[in-house]
Amino acid sequence: MKTRRERAQTVLLCAVLVLAFAFDRACLFRYALLAAVLHEAGHIVAFLLLCRRMPRLRFGVTGIAMNIDGERLSLRREVLLLLAGPLTNFIVAGMTFGIVLTHASYGGYFFACENLLMGLFNLLPIGMLDGGRLLENLIGPGAALISLASVAGLCLTVGILLYYYGAASLAGLIYGLILLFLALRVLRG
């Protein structure tokens, strides 16, 4: 049974999706959403291969998350599971770049870049992302919190500078604020 907060997050996610699709004339949001779905599909396929069962999925404002219901994974298996999503994005990006070399299109370039960025973003050493969980598994929980604050501050600073000097759109500032929000949320516990 979903809690009140989970229901509110689901409604908010649906509202954001409706607005994004309504104002996405260039189909860029659709490419980003497909890259996110492919990322999660990589994790799901890896989980199916490692555990022989389907994980439960949670949909929220921050994205899709797998709930593995207390499944005990060895360090090696968890690392494989965490790397499966970014690796899927990198493979799709490489394949798309290969196709775009012979059949050039802006949509193809954007889709390839979106997959590349999705994989790189998820490897950031931030607690809730794949990179943060990898860092916690390999080094320990303290290292992820220190790197989280550093990465969030750096991204916010770069986002503000890029926005100020006109080298990036408002998206850079928004990504920096999202990272700051994630950092504060994790540091609060």
Instruction: Report residue 152's pLDDT band, with 50, 70 and 90 as the boundaries.
Output: low
Give pLDDT, residue 124.
Answer: 79
Say if CB 41 and CB 88 are below 8 A apart: yes
Question: How many residues appear in the chain?
Answer: 189
Instruction: Please tell me the distance from the alpha carbon of residue 173 to that of residue 179, in angstroms, as a whole number.
Output: 10
Say if CB 83 and CB 138 are below 8 A apart: no
Instruction: Report residue 54's pLDDT band, with 50, 70 and 90 as the boundaries.
Output: confident
Report CA 161 to chain centroid distance, whole Å: 23
Instruction: Please tell me the distance from the alpha carbon of residue 18 to that of residue 176, in angstroms, as a whole number.
Output: 24
pLDDT tens digit sequence for 30-52: 888 899 999 999 999 999 999 88
Q: Which residues contact 39 (CB under 8 A, 6 or more apart)?
A: 85, 86, 88, 89, 118, 119, 122
Q: 59 pairs with which residues across the strands? A: 64
- Tell me how many degrees the CA angle 176-181-182 measures, rounded to the nearest 5: 100
pLDDT tens digit sequence for 65-118: 777 767 788 889 999 999 999 999 999 999 999 999 998 888 888 899 889 889
Give pLDDT, residue 110.
Answer: 87
Instruction: Please tell me the distance from the alpha carbon of residue 35 to that of residue 113, in angstroms, as a whole number.
Output: 10
Instruction: Please tell me the distance from the alpha carbon of residue 11 to that of residue 176, in angstroms, as a whole number.
Output: 24
**The overall pTM is greater than 0.75:** no
Residue 136 host element (H or E)? helix 130-138
